[in-house]
């Protein structure tokens, strides 16, 4: 069986080092050169001929992170790697997954096409913004589930009156999976937006009186929706409000919003690097989950054992 080599773009090296350590292999060496005009020239500093290569990089802005990943994929294929698996803990541009207004791009599909065109043989990611994005790829995709990270932590809190809440209608399926596992009830915060990152109005569907409410979502950006939903839940009688979110994008005034909110805590993963600080943010690592998935893919085993089933 061919040997495994794990590499990383510079943006996600902090996570790649933990994944490689959990897997039991050192992170491969990549040299990052940049021309004076900003053009990138990353290349592998060791042979990958005949190897199963895993390249780790989340594709969050700036676009250089995605461009670097494409260059590394192309470099691996041209260096005769046997198989190139692209590990994208956070798949950026996934919020643009349909034509919700005239004359807009479907960016998620474009990103999928670019990864395939660059030479990726397989994609591994976690908690896509919408499950149907898996269908945008014409190569195998392993879609890992963040519940295996969050459920053990939520168990440790020993909450007696636990209830789950979706901060919007789109997250009902994800929230229902948590509620089913804990045999708990769920509510929905129905929101209306005027424009991106700005909530115009919100109402609660369900009763949260005296409950310890856990909000569930795939990503948090400015925190406006989450903080507004938390305030609404408290206003309706919730005893406490927490949030578990896989991807902490946390842009704009997100840290300030979270710190000043009624949230007890915001639990996220390290799929993205933190750009600020808040006493309410707790980070759980997804390194072990990805390391186990890499091992199973290399050994041609099913990854279904990595999912927590209700």
> Which residues contribute to the annotated binding site?
37-39, 95-96, 129, 168, 193, 217, 221-225
Among residues 96, 94, 74, 67, the alpha carbon closest in space to that of 271 is found at: 94
Kindly report the length of the chain.
310
Of 247, 303, 271, 301, the C-alpha closest to 16 is: 271
Q: How far apart are the first and last CA of the chain?
A: 35
Residue 38: which of 8, 9, 67 has the closest Cα? 67
Residue numbers belonging to the annotated binding site for ATP: 37-39, 95-96
Active site residues: 191
Per the CB < 8 A criterion, the answer to whether 53 and 85 are in contact is: yes
**What's the Cα-to-Cα distance from 186 to each of 86, 174, 206, rounded to whole Å?**
35, 11, 8
């Amino acid at each position: 069986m061919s040997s495994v080599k794990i590499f990383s773009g510079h943006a996600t090296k902090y996570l790649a080092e933990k994944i490689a350590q959990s897997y039991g292999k050192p992170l491969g060496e990549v040299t990052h050169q940049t021309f004076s005009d900003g053009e990138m020239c990353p290349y592998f500093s060791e042979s990958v001929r005949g190897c199963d290569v895993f390249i780790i990089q989340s594709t969050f802005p700036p676009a250089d992170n995605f461009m670097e990943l494409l260059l590394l994929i192309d470099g691996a294929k041209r260096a005769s790697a046997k198989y190139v698996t692209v590990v994208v803990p956070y798949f950026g541009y996934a919020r643009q997954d349909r034509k919700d207004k005239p004359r807009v791009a479907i960016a998620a599909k474009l990103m999928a096409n670019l990864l395939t065109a660059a030479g990726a043989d397989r994609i591994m990611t976690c908690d896509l913004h919408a499950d149907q994005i898996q269908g945008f790829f014409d190569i195998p995709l392993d879609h890992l589930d963040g519940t295996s990270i969050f459920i053990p932590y939520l168990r440790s809190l020993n909450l007696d009156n636990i209830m789950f809440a979706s901060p919007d209608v789109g997250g009902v399926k994800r929230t229902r999976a948590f509620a089913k596992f804990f045999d708990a009830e769920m509510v929905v915060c129905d929101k209306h937006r005027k424009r991106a990152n700005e909530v115009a109005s919100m109402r609660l569907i369900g009763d949260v009186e005296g409950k310890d409410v856990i909000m569930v979502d795939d990503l948090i950006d400015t925190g406006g929706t989450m903080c507004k939903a938390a305030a609404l839940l408290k206003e309706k009688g919730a005893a406490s409000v927490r949030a578990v979110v896989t991807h902490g994008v946390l842009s704009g005034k997100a840290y300030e919003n979270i710190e000043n909110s009624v949230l007890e805590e915001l639990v996220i993963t390290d799929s993205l690097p933190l750009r600020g600080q808040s006493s309410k943010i707790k980070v759980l690592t997804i390194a072990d989950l990805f390391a186990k998935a890499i091992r199973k893919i290399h050994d041609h085993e099913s990854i279904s054992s990595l999912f927590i089933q209700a």
